[in-house]
């Protein structure tokens, strides 16, 4: 089978497409014929050795796939509800390959109405943003939500989910085209945070009151004005640092605002409270199957162009989610 391999820390152009033996299915595992593998910013960080998880070499990027079960281990039987031929999606390691091994504990049946590309691409983004807004941020209907990096993977999911939860959503991005994508996903107002003064724009759009929740997957220079833009009792959700620099925040700011700085890590939730992660994922599956959420897959790439896909993420060229397909998705 083909697999995209990372043999040393490096940029996307150092990845190689190689023919390797199919993985062996253990007793408590299933083998998936991969149709689509989604990519995210953490994959960009992982291949460079900059992510909090550092896989052993060689590994393939991509931790989210959708496909068809090819084989099940002897311990799976019918008990786990999986059998060859099932359309599934789930969290794996080494996803950018023709075949991948998965454990049944974070594997799901893909509803018939949901295609492989959406199936591969929604769980991390929507899981992160749903957990962030609903659980960590306690976002309520009628509150105002400010989303940084709002046209990106987790950001656009936060825009859509924020609207679904009844909030007024202010989306921030770096270009007019990206802000248009946010509006189509439901954003009420937009700020170009590269050309406008973020602090002043927040004041203008909230009549000096500030926002109730900030969703921040970008960090760097935007964090300080966004924390200062919180309303009394506001919550600042720390999601990621796509712009590179991990910001330092003066602790007098949450004090003065009676506010909270709240960390969000979806992978950490899966590890530490898998039951809650599964509950939230099931809710999202239902919302997508019912058409209440419409994840944007903005581009697909053949497996051989996985490096180009990751380079586009690095170059800030991506909106919504991007997906690598193995050929017959
Ligand atoms: N906490 C969690 O559980 C969790 C889960 C998934 C992802 N994350 C983190 O969230 C962040 C975003 O991930 P994602 O997959 O949504 O990425 P993405 O699709 O690439 O979106 C990131 C956004 O950040 C903005 N950005 C600003 N400066 C950037 C720079 N120098 N390089 C790249 N993007 C820049 C871009 O929007 P503009 O051009 O409009 O500024 C871009 O749309 C990453 O740091 C990732 O590690 C965290």
128 lines ligand 1 (CB under 6 A): yes
DSSP states of 275-314 = HHHHHHHHHHHHHHHTTS----EEEEEEGGGHHHHHHHHH
Strands (E) across 138-200 are located at 144-147, 168-173, 189-192
127 lines ligand 1 (CB under 6 A): no
223 close to ligand 1 (CB < 6 Angstrom): no
Asked whether 264 and 131 are in contact (CB, 8 A), the reply is yes
Helices (H), the chain: 41-47, 116-121, 123-130, 153-164, 176-184, 198-205, 223-228, 252-256, 266-272, 274-289, 306-314
Q: Please say whether the beta carbons of 25 and 101 come within 8 A.
A: yes
**What pLDDT is stored for residue 329 in this prediction?**
42
CB-ligand 1 contact for 240 (6 Å cutoff): yes
Beta partners for residue 87, in sequence order:
68
55 contact partners, CB below 8 Å, separation of at least 6: 46, 93
Cα of 123 vs centre of ligand 1, distance in Å, is: 16
pLDDT per residue, tens digit, the chain (329 aa), is: 999 999 999 999 999 999 999 999 999 999 999 999 999 999 999 999 999 899 999 999 999 999 999 999 988 865 568 999 999 999 999 999 999 999 998 899 999 999 999 999 999 999 999 999 999 999 999 999 999 999 999 999 999 999 999 999 999 999 999 999 999 999 999 999 999 999 999 999 999 999 999 999 999 999 999 999 999 999 999 999 999 889 999 999 999 999 999 999 999 999 999 999 999 999 999 999 999 999 999 999 999 999 999 999 999 999 999 999 998 44
Q: Which pLDDT does position 81 carry in this prediction? A: 82
Question: Do the Cβ atoms of 317 and 19 come closer than 8 Å?
Answer: no
pLDDT value, residue 327 = 85
CA of 122 to the centre of ligand 1 (A): 15
Say how many Å lie between the first and final Cα of the chain, rounded: 16
pLDDT of 76: 83
Evaluate whether 241 touches 220 at the Cβ level (below 8 Å): yes
Which atom of ligand 1 approaches the CA of 220 most closely? 28
Rounded distance between C-alpha atoms, residue 127 and residue 267, angstroms: 10
Estimate the crossing angle of helix 176-184 against helix 153-164, to 10 degrees: 40
State how far the Cα of 232 lies from the Cα of 276, in Å rounded to an integer.
29
**270 Cβ below 6 A of ligand 1:** no
Q: Are strands 99-102 and 144-147 parallel, antiparallel or unpaired?
A: unpaired
Sequence-separated (6 or more) residues with CB below 8 Å from residue 77: none
With a 6 A CB cut-off, is 243 part of the ligand 1 pocket? yes
Task: Answer yes or no: are the C-beta atoms of 216 and 241 closer than 8 Å.
Answer: no
> What is this structure's pTM?
0.94
Residue with tokens 């950490």: 268
């Amino acid at each position: 089978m083909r697999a995209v391999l990372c043999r040393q820390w490096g940029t996307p152009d150092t990845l190689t497409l190689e023919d390797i033996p199919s993985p062996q299915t253990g007793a408590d595992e299933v083998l998936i014929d991969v149709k689509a593998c989604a990519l995210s910013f953490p994959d960009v960080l992982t291949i460079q050795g900059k992510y909090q998880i550092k896989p052993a070499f060689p590994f393939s990027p991509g931790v989210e796939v959708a496909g068809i079960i090819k084989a099940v281990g002897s311990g799976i039987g019918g008990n786990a509800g999986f059998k060859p031929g099932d359309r599934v999606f789930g969290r794996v390691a080494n996803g950018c390959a023709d075949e991948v091994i998965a454990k049944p504990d974070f594997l799901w049946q893909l509803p018939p109405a949901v295609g492989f590309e959406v199936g591969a691409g929604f769980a991390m983004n929507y899981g992160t943003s749903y957990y962030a807004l609903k659980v960590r941020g306690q976002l309520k209907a009628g509150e105002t939500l400010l989303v940084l990096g709002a046209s990106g993977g987790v950001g656009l999911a936060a825009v859509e989910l924020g609207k679904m939860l009844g909030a007024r959503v202010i989306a921030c991005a770096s270009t007019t085209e990206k802000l248009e994508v946010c509006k189509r996903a439901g954003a009420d107002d937009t700020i170009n945070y590269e050309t406008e003064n973020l602090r002043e724009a927040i004041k203008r759009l909230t009549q000096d009151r500030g926002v109730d929740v900030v969703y921040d997957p970008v960090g760097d220079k935007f964090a300080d004005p966004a924390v200062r833009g919180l309303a009394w009792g506001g919550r600042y959700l720390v999601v990621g640092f796509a712009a590179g620099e991990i910001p330092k925040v003066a602790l007098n700011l949450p004090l003065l605002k009676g506010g909270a700085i709240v960390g969000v890590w979806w992978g950490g939730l899966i590890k530490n409270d898998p039951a809650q992660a599964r509950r939230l994922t099931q809710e999202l599956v239902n919302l997508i199957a019912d058409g209440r959420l419409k994840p944007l897959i903005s581009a697909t790439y053949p497996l051989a162009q996985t490096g180009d896909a990751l380079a586009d993420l690095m170059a800030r060229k991506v909106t919504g989610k991007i997906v690598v397909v193995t050929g017959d998705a």
